[in-house]
Amino acid sequence: MNTPVLQIKNLGIDFGGLTAVNNLNMEVHAHEIIGLIGPNGAGKTTVFNMLTKVYDPSRGTILLNGQDIAKMDTVAVNKAGIARTFQNIRLFQNLSVIDNVKAGMNNQFVYSIADMLFHTRKRRSNEEMIEEEALKLLKIFHLDDLKDTEAGSLPYGAQRKLEIARALASEPKLLLLDEPAAGMNPQETEELMETIRFVRDTFDICILLIEHDMNLVMNICERIYVLNYGMLLAKGSPEEIRNNEKVIKAYLGD
Amino acid sequence: MKTIINELLHHRNRSRMLSFALIIGSYLIIEFLMHSIRISRLFTSMLVPCCCYIILALSLNLVVGFSGELSLGHAGFMAVGAFTAIIVSGLSAKMIPDPVIRLFISVLSGSILSGLTGLLISVPVLKLSGDYLAIVTLAFGQIIKSLITNIYLGFDSNGLQLSFVTNELNLEQGKMLLSGPMGATDTAKISNFSSGALLIVITLFVIYSLIDSKYGRAIMAARDDRIAAESIGIDILRSKTLAFVASSILAGAAGALYALNYSTLQPAKFDFNTSILALVYVVFGGLGNINGTIIATTVLYVLPELLRSLQDYRMLIYAIVLIIVMQLGSSVRLKRSMEKLKNRFSKKGVIR
Ligand SMILES: Nc1ncnc2c1ncn2[C@@H]1O[C@H](COP(=O)(O)OP(=O)(O)OP(=O)(O)O)[C@@H](O)[C@H]1O
Ligand SMILES: [Mg+2]
């Protein structure tokens, strides 16, 4: 089998005395949509924060396409191919919808400060390409009509979609989605599932997503990892997870 | 053709055009008036400094409004630009008799040195997250003023002479450029209103070129959300440094233009009060609001000068106006009605 896009080995992190994640092993392969689920406080978001180097792990290794990301910072990790959304939406509130997406292309289209100042052809052609790409992404999420709206004034569901568009703008190989359907109504969620599959196919990326909406998880994830108290509780296909005694117990509480 | 018109009518571009129209229009009207009717000296003497303060406030807005950092020492950059320009202009007076070329070179030198100073102090500070920039710029403003207050610089046939103690330079028919706390005492006045207006136009061009580019988006993204910006590959330090250095270059140019408008200039002119004044202009004009900054600076600069004839009541009236403006500016109801008004004018034809 090919090297996985993402390989997590014995990952762990302590906050003071609290061990938030411990001994985690995970793999995400090309073209997969993987679910990461677990009760509140299980450590899911913390895993994302370690993958994007918002936090440095205390133990373990993270390999992206076989390359160790230990020495990278958040910016370098993004350049290496990981982009994410946030559980508590973090948009650039005062920028327009389209500028949020354009900001995501900061490293994709390059021109110098001199080009910027003297409005050279290079600046113009790059800005045109940025505009075109940004509109393409907005269309996927049906946000193109709102392109000049301030991001902070968008409805909740649209904000979540815009965050995904912005992450995609940085051309990741692995996309991390932290509760993408939170706050969406059933119809929006249904649409989102379509979009996630569409995005995976058109950009040929793999997606790791955290979600509490079991309908979404069971429908679009090919494999699922279950986290409980920072430890891996179970992994497997949606079918296996649905019928796993330990998982049911963890979710219902005992 | 249709796309060009649409582009021009886009509300963002409209506000860009308004800025240039505001400056060029005011310039033409004032020039016309000056040539056709007699205008009081009081008024004409305010023109160049007003231009300088507009440039200073615009440059500060780049840091405070667009980059989201606080600078409490922008007068320091003005000082660097000012005294560099005085020295360059003084030294090159014989070599470059043409005042326009000399003004250009002096302002350019002032802004370059100011930009380098900005680079030097911002890189180590911006590495730290938090409001350290405010503290360091505050100290910088004080230090630069004290430094210039202690410099005695003159030149004669033997070349440049420098002392940090007292005025003990032995110049043979030479000329003092800086005399400690007295500052510059015999500068050729080569600034004028035209150069001031031109410099504002250049400043606007630089700021708009920056904020409408990928660099500007990165600066504003880093302001709105640091972590999110990093997560899409934006280098926070580089973005904030770019904004700060661009700002110090422009503030230096403002200082240079200001200095060459007076025959005497004391370093105390660029003290903490001036930095705060610039901040007041920016806050009243609106963070990130270019046209607002231009208007607020003009009104708040001209008003107290005009009220000078009312002597003792001047500061009182000034304070009352400030309070009224502040009240109106923060009033929610006023804001809402302004929004409605704005929507009526600008949102026609725009969906949602
Ligand atoms: N910066 C931090 N400092 C201290 N403790 C933290 C920090 N970040 C997370 N934790 C703790 O780590 C644990 C896991 O938190 P995390 O946010 O990863 O949970 P989660 O699985 O995402 O939960 P939810 O479903 O509610 O989002 C929690 O106990 C949390 O309090
Ligand atoms: Mg979470």
Candidate of A22, A44, A46 to mutate for ligand 1, largest count of ligand atoms within 8 Å of Cβ: A46
CATH number of the domain to which A3 belongs: 3.40.50.300
Say if A11 falls within a structural domain.
yes
Determine which helix (DSSP H) or strand (DSSP E) holds B55, and give its type and residue range: helix B41-61
Residue A86 lies inside a defined structural domain of this protein: no
The reply to whether A161 and A201 lie within a common domain is no
The residue from A137, A155, A170 where one domain ends is A170
A109 lies in which domain range? 93-170
Determine, yes or no, domain membership for A63. Answer: yes
Q: pTM of the full predicted structure? A: 0.89
Total count of residues recorded for chain A: 254
Whether residue A74 sits in one domain with residue A182: yes
Q: Is residue A219 one of the residues assigned to a domain?
A: yes
Specify the pLDDT at position A176: 98
**Distances in whole angstroms, Cα of residue B251 to Cα of each of A154, B244, B294:** 37, 10, 15
Q: Of A153, A170, A187, which residue constitutes the final position of a domain?
A: A170
> Pick the residue with more confidence: B152 or B351?
B152
Closest CA to A28 of A51, A50, A46, A12: A51
The DSSP-derived string for B122-134 is HHHHHTS-STHHH
Same domain, yes or no, for A44 and A103?
no
A176: in domain: yes
Residues in chain A with CB shorter than 8 Å from the CB of B228 are: 86, 90-92, 166
Read off the pLDDT band of B347 (50, 70, 90).
very low
Whether A48 is covered by a domain: the verdict is yes
Q: ∠A71-A74-A78 over CA atoms, to 5°?
A: 100
Identify how many contiguous H helices and E strands chain A contains and give both numbers.
10, 10
Is residue A176 located within the same domain as residue A72? yes
Q: How far is CA B79 from CA A243, B75, B107, B213, in A?
A: 74, 6, 12, 30
pLDDT at position A208: 97
pLDDT at B334 over 60: no
Q: For ligand 1, atom 30, which residue shows the shortest CA distance? A: A41
Tens digit of each residue's pLDDT (9 = 90 or more) over B227-262: 999 999 999 999 999 999 999 999 999 999 999 999
Answer with the residue of higher pLDDT: B41 or A81.
A81
Tens of pLDDT, residue by residue over B79-118, are 999 999 999 998 888 888 899 999 999 999 999 999 999 9
A55 CA to chain B: closest CA distance, Å? 11
Are A200 and A232 found together in one domain?
yes
* pLDDT tens, residue by residue, A18-56: 999 999 999 999 999 999 999 999 999 999 999 999 999
ipTM rounded to 2 decimals: 0.94
Question: Of all protein residues, whose CA lies closest to atom 22 belonging to ligand 1?
Answer: A45
Q: Is the CB of A87 under 6 A from ligand 1?
A: yes
B154 SS3 class = strand
Q: Is the pLDDT of residue B348 over 50?
A: no
Last residue of a domain, one of A145, A170, A195: A170
Residues A159-208: tens digit of each pLDDT: 999 999 999 999 999 999 999 999 899 999 999 999 999 999 999 999 99
Question: Where is pLDDT greater, at B327 or B224?
Answer: B224
CA–CA gap between residue A218 and residue B2 (Å, rounded): 50
| Residue A178 and residue A143 share a domain | no
Is the pLDDT confidence value at A247 over 90? no
Q: Would residue A69 count as lying in a domain?
A: yes
Residue B153: predicted pLDDT: 85
Q: How far is the CA of A227 from the centre of ligand 2 (A)?
A: 11
Within a domain: residue A236?
yes
Q: Which of A15, A50, A228 most suits a substitution to test ligand 1, by most atoms within 8 Å of the C-beta?
A: A15
- pLDDT tens per residue, range A48-106: 999 999 999 999 999 999 999 999 999 999 999 999 999 999 999 999 999 999 999 99
Nearest-angstrom CA–CA distance, B253 and B114: 8
Please give the pLDDT value at position B303.
81
Q: What is the band of A1 on the pLDDT scale with cuts at 50, 70, 90?
A: low
Are residues A24 and A124 located together in one domain of the fold? no
Q: Do residues A164 and A213 both lie within one domain?
A: no
Nearest CB to B232 within list A95, A116, A166: A166
For atom 26 of ligand 1, the residue with the nearest CA is A40
Domain count, chain A: 2
**Does A97 share its domain with A157?**
yes
Q: In angstroms, rounded to a whole number, what is the distance separating the alpha carbons of residues A157 and A159? A: 5
